[in-house]
C-alpha cells in the first residue's frame, strides 16, 4: 500500500478526528475541500468494511452528494484511488456518489409504486421538457396576449410584431423557471390554483404560468414520464409515505457527506436531513463561492444556517481556511474584495454578499483565506514570482474589440508576449494559462483571435468550437437531404464538408475561389451535378493553365458521397447520422460526437414520431449556433485538467474548482458586475419590457405570496429591485471565484460594451476600482 498522504492540521481534524454527528465545514478556495472530503469518505468506507467484513448481508455505504456530474466523476475517481492505494480495498465498493437528482432517481426507481409510477417510467430530459413547455406556451399565448402586451414598452404599438416574437422566444424559459421553483416548493398546479381563486388581477402572470404548468403535468402523465424536478419531489414523497423504506435507507447510508453545500436547495436539504435522521451528516462548502443562485433553486442561506450556532446548536463547525494555491499577494487581493464589500461597498444592501463573520473561538474572520505555514508540503507560490495588473486608466475608453486585442497581442501583458517568452521552455514545463469571461459569447470571439495569432487553446464554453463545427457539418447534410432538389443547399454541403486543405486554399487563393464558383455556376440542377452525362464538362470549367488537377476527382468523390447519403435516407435518423459521420469524420473525437448526435436524435424521434429531417436539422442548428449546449460531450464531464502551455478559454462559472498559473479576467465592467447603482443595467431586464421589469423575478415573487413564503402583499417592481440586489451579490462572488483561480499571475481588463455608440457606456466595475486603489495603497508593489 502507498504511504499515507500528509494532511494539514485542519484537514486532519476533519478526516481523522470525525467520530460522527453533524459537522459543517466552511472551506476557502484552494483549501483542499474535495481532497479532504474524499479522504474522509475513504476512511469511513474502510471502517464500514472492517465492521462488516464477515457479514454478506451488510449493504452499508457512505453516501456522497455533490452538485454536478463533474463532481460525481471526480469524487468517484479520487475515493477509488485512495481506497486502493492506502487501504488495499476493492474499487467502487462501499460508497455511492450522486448528484441530488441521481440520488432521487435511485430512491424512486427502487420503489416507483410508492409514488404512483410504473416500473418502466421514463425521465424526460430538460430539452424535451422545455420543448413541451414551449408548445403549451405558444398554444395559450393568444388567449393571454393582452396581458403580455401590457408588459411591453412599445406605447404606440408600432413594434407589436417584434414584441410578440420576443415573448414567444423567451416566455418558455421563464415558465420553466416557474415550474422548477414550484416543484422546489412541492407545489402542484392544483395547490397553486387554490389561493389564485382569491387573488386579484395583479396575479395574472402567475395564472398564465399555472395553466401552462397544469398542461405540462398532464402531458407528462400521458407519456408515463417525470422530469428531473419531479424526481426530487417524488423521492421525498416516497420517504414520507413508507417509514420502513426510510429506515432501510437510513441503515444503508449511515454516513452522508455533502459537497458544494453552498449550492444546496430547499429540497436537497430536506432530503438529506430526512435520510441522515440528524445523525452523521457532514456538509462542506464555501458560501462566498455561491454563484448559481440566480438561475437555479440553490441558496447559500441553507449552509449559513447550518453553520450558525443560534440556528443549529447541534452542529460542530470545522474550518478549512488555509490555502496553498495562490501567491500571498493574490490571497490579499481576494481578502480585500471581501473586506471592501462588507465594510465599504457604496450600496449598503450588498454588504451581506460575503460570509465575513468573526469567529470568537479562533479569533479570525470566517471566509478569510490564510496562507500555509512554513511546514506545509504545499507552499504558496512566492510573491517574487507573482504579478497582479489591473488594466484601467481613468478616462480610458476601451471597446470590446480593443480589449480582446490587448489580451491576445496588443499589450506587454498579452498572451502573444507571454508565449514569446516561453519559446525555449519545454512544453511540459510551461505554465498553465486561462482567460476567464463572464459569458460564453465573449469567449467565442476571443477564440477567433487566438486562432488568428496561432496561440494554442482549449475551450470550456457552452459548446466547444470543434463540437459546433462538427455538428454544423452534420446539420448541413441533413438540411440538404430534407430538400434534395435544392441546388443552393447542395452547394452549402460542399463548402461545409470541404477538407481543411481545400478551405485554406479558398481563403488564400482567389483563382481557386473563382474556379469553384465557375464549376457550380455551370450546374443548372441537382440531377445534372450528381449524375452528369459528361464528366469532362466540369473539367472544362477550370481556368486555362490552372494547376488543380485533383479538383475533378474531388468533385467525383463528393458526388458519390451525396448519392450514398440520399440512398441512406430510408434508414432511421440515428443510422443515417452514423452513416454520414462515418463518411465525414476520421478523428476519434468527431466519430464519438457523431454517435452522441445519433443517440440524441434517436431520442427526439422517439419523443416526436411525427418529426422528419427538417425538424432534426433544426435541432442541430440550435447546437451548432450555440443556442443550447450539447450535453454529454465535453471534457468537463470527465474532469478537466489544464494543459501546460495551452490557453484555457472558459466562463468563470466553468472555471470553479480549477486553477491556473496565469489568469486573465475579462470584461469586468458594471454590466457584467453591477453594484446596484442608478446607472447599472441588468441582463435579466429585457429592453422590450416596460419599466425595466424583470418578469422572472415578478413571477416568482407572485408564487412566493401565493405559497405563503412571503406574507407581504405583492407590489409590482419590488421583486425586480430585489433581483438586482441578488444578482449584484452573486456577481461579487463570481469575481471572487475568478480572482482565486490564479496561482501566480492575475490580469484584469474591462471594456465599455457594445452600446457606447448609442451613448450608453459601460463603466469599470466598482470592485475593480476598489481593488486597484488597494494595490496603489500597497505602493505598486505588485502592479
The answer to the question of residue 657 being in a domain is yes
The CATH number given to whatever domain includes residue 78 is: 3.40.50.300
Q: Are residues 408 and 427 in the same domain?
A: yes
Same domain, 653 and 763: yes
How many angstroms separate the Cα of 284 from the Cα of each of 67, 138, 257, 273, 692? 12, 43, 8, 15, 38
Provide the pLDDT for residue 362: 63
Give residues with Cβ within 8 angstroms of 302, minimum separation 6. 261, 264, 265, 266, 269
Do 133 and 77 share a structural domain? no
Cβ atoms of 390 and 355 closer than 8 Å: no
| Same-domain check for residues 483 and 437 | no
Task: Give 377-425 as a DSSP string.
Answer: SSPPPPGGG-EEEE---TT----HHHHHHIIIIISTTSHHHHHHTTTTS
Question: Residue 161: what pLDDT?
Answer: 83
For the stretch 593-602, contacts whose Cβ atoms lie closer than 8 Å and that sit 24 or more positions apart, written own/partner, are: 593/467, 593/470, 593/471, 593/633, 594/470, 594/474, 596/630, 596/632, 596/633, 597/471, 597/474, 597/630, 598/573, 598/574, 599/574, 600/630, 600/632, 601/573, 601/574, 601/577, 602/572, 602/573, 602/574
| Position 631 in a domain | no
Dihedral (CA of 206, 209, 213, 215) sign: positive
pLDDT (0 to 100) of residue 630: 47
410 vs 358: CA distance, rounded Å = 44
Reading the block at residue 341, the C-alpha cell is 464589500
Same domain, 104 and 74: yes
- Total domains, the chain: 5
Give the number of other Cβ atoms within 10 Å of residue 476's Cβ.
Answer: 22
DSSP line for 154-171: -TT-TTHHHHHHHHHHHH
* 458 and 470 part of one domain: no
Is residue 377 domain-resident?
Answer: no
Instruction: Confirm whether 633 is domain-assigned.
Output: no
Among 776, 774, 704, 707, which residue's Cα sits nearest to residue 739?
A: 774
Q: Is residue 634 a part of any domain in this protein?
A: no
- Residue 123: which region, alpha, beta or left (left: phi > 0; alpha: psi -120 to 50)? beta
412 contacts 615 by C-beta, under 8 angstroms: no
Please state, in angstroms and rounded to a whole number, the distance separating the CA atoms of residues 85 and 98. 23
Shared-domain flag, residues 447 and 470: no
Dihedral pair phi/psi, residue 666, rounded to 5° = -105, 160
Rg (CA), the chain: 29
pLDDT for res 779: 58
Taking the whole predicted model, whether its pTM rises above 0.75 is answered as yes
Residue 614: which of 601, 597, 633 has the closest Cα? 601
Residue 499 gets which letter from DSSP?
-
Which DSSP state fits 227?
E
Q: Is 779 exposed, middle or buried (0-12, 13-18, 19+ CB in 10 A)?
A: exposed
Residue 24, classed as helix, strand or coil, is strand
Kindly give, in sequence order, each residue whose CB lies less than 8 Å from that of residue 84, ignoring residues fewer than 6 positions away. Answer: 90, 91
Shared-domain flag, residues 99 and 239: yes
The pairing of beta strand 364-365 with beta strand 358-359: antiparallel
- Return the pLDDT at 547: 62
Among 582, 597, 625, the domain boundary falls at 625
Alpha carbon distance 66, 37 (integer Å): 11
On whether residue 4 sits in a domain, the answer given is no
* Phi-psi label, residue 303: left if phi above 0, alpha if psi -120 to 50, beta otherwise: alpha
Residue where a domain terminates, one of 204, 223, 242? 223
Q: What is the pLDDT of residue 609?
A: 80
Separation CA 206–CA 223 (nearest Å): 26
Q: Are residues 453 and 521 in the same domain?
A: no
62-66: strand order across its sheet: 95-99, 62-66, 255-258, 281-285, 22-26, 315-317
Is 725 part of a structural domain of the chain?
A: yes
Convert the pLDDT of each residue in 73-90 to its tens digit: 889 889 999 999 999 988
Q: Are residues 547 and 621 in the same domain?
A: yes
What is the 8-class DSSP label of residue 749?
-
Residues of the chain scoring pLDDT < 70: 1-4, 53-54, 154-158, 360-364, 461-468, 500, 503-504, 506-509, 533-549, 589, 607, 623-639, 754-759, 779-783
| Phi, psi values for residue 380, rounded to 5° | -65, 145
CB–CB of 233/267 below 8 Å? yes
Which residues share a beta bridge with 226? 123
- In this structure, the answer to whether residues 450 and 579 fall within a common structural domain is no
Alpha helices, H only, 487-612: 487-497, 500-508, 510-521, 526-530, 535-540, 551-568, 573-584, 588-607
**Looking only at Cα atoms, what is the longest distance across the chain?**
90
Question: What is the pLDDT at residue 636?
Answer: 44
Q: Is residue 742 within a helix (H) or strand (E), and if so which, with residue range?
A: strand 742-748
Q: What is the SS3 string spanning 360-384? A: CCCCEECCCCEECCCCCCCCCCCHH
Q: Are 88 and 123 in contact (CB under 8 A)?
A: no
204-258, pLDDT tens digit by residue?
999 999 999 999 999 999 988 999 899 999 999 999 999 999 999 999 999 999 9
Distances (CA, A) of 751 to 253, 435, 670: 51, 15, 10
Spatial contact of 750 and 398, defined as CB atoms under 8 Å apart:
yes
Asked if residue 630 belongs to a domain, the reply is no
Q: Which structural domain, as residue segments, surrounds residue 491?
A: 465-625
Asked if 218 and 128 sit in the same domain, the reply is yes
* 258: helix, strand or coil: strand
Phi, psi (5° rounding) for residue 717? 100, -30
Amino acid at each position: 500500500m502507498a504511504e499515507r498522504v500528509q494532511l494539514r492540521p485542519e484537514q486532519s481534524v476533519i478526516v481523522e478526528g470525525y467520530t460522527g454527528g453533524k459537522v459543517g465545514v466552511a472551506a476557502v478556495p484552494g483549501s483542499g475541500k474535495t481532497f479532504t472530503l474524499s479522504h474522509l469518505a475513504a476512511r469511513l468506507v474502510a471502517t464500514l468494511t472492517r465492521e462488516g467484513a464477515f457479514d454478506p448481508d451488510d449493504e452499508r455505504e457512505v453516501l456522497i452528494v455533490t452538485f454536478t456530474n463533474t463532481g460525481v466523476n471526480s469524487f468517484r475517481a479520487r475515493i477509488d484511488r485512495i481506497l486502493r492505494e492506502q487501504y488495499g480495498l476493492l474499487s467502487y465498493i462501499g460508497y455511492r456518489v450522486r448528484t441530488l437528482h441521481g440520488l432521487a432517481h435511485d430512491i424512486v426507481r427502487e420503489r416507483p409504486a410508492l409514488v404512483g409510477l410504473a416500473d418502466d417510467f421514463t425521465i424526460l430530459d430538460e430539452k424535451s421538457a422545455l420543448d413541451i413547455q414551449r408548445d403549451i406556451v405558444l398554444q395559450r399565448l393568444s388567449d393571454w396576449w393582452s396581458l403580455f402586451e401590457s408588459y411591453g414598452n412599445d406605447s404606440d404599438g408600432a413594434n407589436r410584431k417584434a414584441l410578440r416574437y420576443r415573448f414567444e422566444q423567451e416566455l418558455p424559459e421563464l415558465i420553466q423557471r416557474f415550474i422548477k421553483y414550484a416543484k422546489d416548493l412541492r407545489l402542484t398546479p392544483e395547490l397553486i390554483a387554490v389561493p389564485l381563486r382569491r387573488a386579484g388581477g395583479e396575479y395574472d402572470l402567475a395564472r398564465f404560468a399555472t395553466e401552462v404548468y397544469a398542461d405540462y403535468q398532464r402531458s407528462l402523465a400521458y407519456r408515463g414520464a417525470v422530469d428531473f424536478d419531479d424526481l426530487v419531489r417524488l423521492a421525498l414523497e416516497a420517504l414520507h409515505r413508507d417509514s420502513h423504506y426510510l429506515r432501510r435507507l437510513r441503515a444503508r447510508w449511515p454516513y452522508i457527506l455533502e459537497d458544494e453545500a453552498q449550492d444546496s436547495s430547499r429540497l436537497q436539504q430536506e432530503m438529506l436531513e430526512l435520510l441522515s435522521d440528524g445523525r452523521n451528516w457532514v456538509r462542506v462548502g464555501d458560501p462566498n463561492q455561491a454563484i448559481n443562485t440566480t438561475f437555479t433553486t440553490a441558496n447559500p442561506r441553507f449552509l449559513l444556517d447550518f453553520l450558525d450556532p443560534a440556528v443549529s446548536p447541534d452542529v460542530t463547525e470545522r474550518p478549512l481556511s488555509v490555502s496553498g494555491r495562490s501567491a500571498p499577494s493574490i490571497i490579499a487581493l481576494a481578502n480585500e474584495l471581501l473586506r471592501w464589500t462588507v465594510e465599504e461597498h457604496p450600496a449598503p444592501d450588498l454588504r451581506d454578499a460575503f460570509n465575513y463573520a468573526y469567529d470568537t473561538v479562533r479569533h479570525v474572520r470566517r471566509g478569510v483565506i490564510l496562507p500555509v505555514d512554513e511546514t506545509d508540503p504545499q507552499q504558496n507560490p512566492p510573491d517574487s514570482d507573482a504579478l497582479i495588473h489591473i488594466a484601467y486608466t481613468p478616462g480610458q475608453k476601451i471597446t470590446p474589440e480593443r480589449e480582446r486585442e490587448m489580451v491576445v497581442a496588443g499589450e506587454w501583458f498579452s498572451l502573444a508576449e507571454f508565449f514569446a517568452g516561453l519559446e525555449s521552455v519545454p512544453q511540459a514545463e510551461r505554465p498553465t494559462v486561462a482567460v476567464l469571461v463572464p459569458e460564453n459569447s465573449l469567449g467565442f470571439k476571443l477564440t477567433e483571435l487566438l486562432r488568428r495569432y496561432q496561440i494554442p487553446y482549449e475551450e470550456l464554453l457552452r459548446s466547444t468550437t470543434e463540437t459546433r463545427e462538427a455538428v454544423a457539418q452534420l446539420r448541413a447534410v441533413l438540411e440538404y437531404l430534407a430538400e434534395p432538389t435544392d441546388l443552393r443547399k447542395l452547394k452549402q454541403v460542399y463548402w461545409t464538408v470541404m477538407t481543411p486543405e481545400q478551405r485554406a486554399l479558398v481563403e488564400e487563393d482567389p483563382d481557386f475561389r473563382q474556379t469553384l464558383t465557375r464549376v457550380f455556376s455551370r450546374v443548372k440542377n441537382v440531377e445534372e451535378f450528381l449524375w452528369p452525362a459528361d464528366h469532362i464538362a466540369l473539367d472544362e470549367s477550370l481556368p486555362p493553365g490552372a494547376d488543380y488537377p485533383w479538383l475533378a476527382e474531388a468533385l467525383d468523390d463528393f458526388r458519390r458521397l451525396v448519392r450514398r447519403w440520399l440512398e441512406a435516407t430510408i434508414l432511421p435518423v440515428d443510422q443515417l447520422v452514423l452513416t454520414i459521420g462515418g463518411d465525414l469524420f476520421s478523428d476519434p473525437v468527431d466519430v464519438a460526437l457523431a454517435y452522441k448526435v445519433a443517440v440524441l436524435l434517436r431520442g427526439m424521434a422517439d419523443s416526436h414520431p411525427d418529426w422528419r429531417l427538417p425538424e432534426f436539422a433544426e435541432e442541430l442548428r440550435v447546437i451548432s449556433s450555440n443556442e443550447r449546449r450539447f450535453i454529454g460531450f465535453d471534457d468537463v464531464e470527465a474532469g478537466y485538467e489544464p494543459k501546460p502551455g495551452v490557453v484555457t478559454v472558459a466562463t468563470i462559472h466553468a472555471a470553479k474548482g480549477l486553477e491556473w498559473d496565469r489568469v486573465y479576467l475579462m470584461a469586468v465592467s458594471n454590466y457584467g458586475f453591477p453594484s446596484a447603482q442608478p446607472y447599472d443595467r441588468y441582463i435579466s431586464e429585457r429592453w422590450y419590457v416596460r419599466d425595466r421589469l424583470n418578469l422572472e423575478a415578478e413571477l416568482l415573487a407572485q408564487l412566493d405570496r401565493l405559497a405563503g413564503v412571503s406574507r407581504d402583499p405583492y407590489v409590482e417592481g419590488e421583486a425586480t429591485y430585489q433581483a438586482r440586489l441578488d444578482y449584484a451579490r452573486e456577481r461579487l462572488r463570481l469575481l471572487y471565484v475568478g480572482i482565486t483561480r490564479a496561482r501566480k499571475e492575475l490580469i484584469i481588463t474591462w471594456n465599455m460594451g457594445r452600446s457606447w455608440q448609442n451613448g450608453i457606456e459601460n463603466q469599470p466595475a466598482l470592485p475593480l476600482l476598489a481593488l486597484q486603489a488597494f494595490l496603489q495603497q500597497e505602493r505598486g508593489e505588485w502592479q
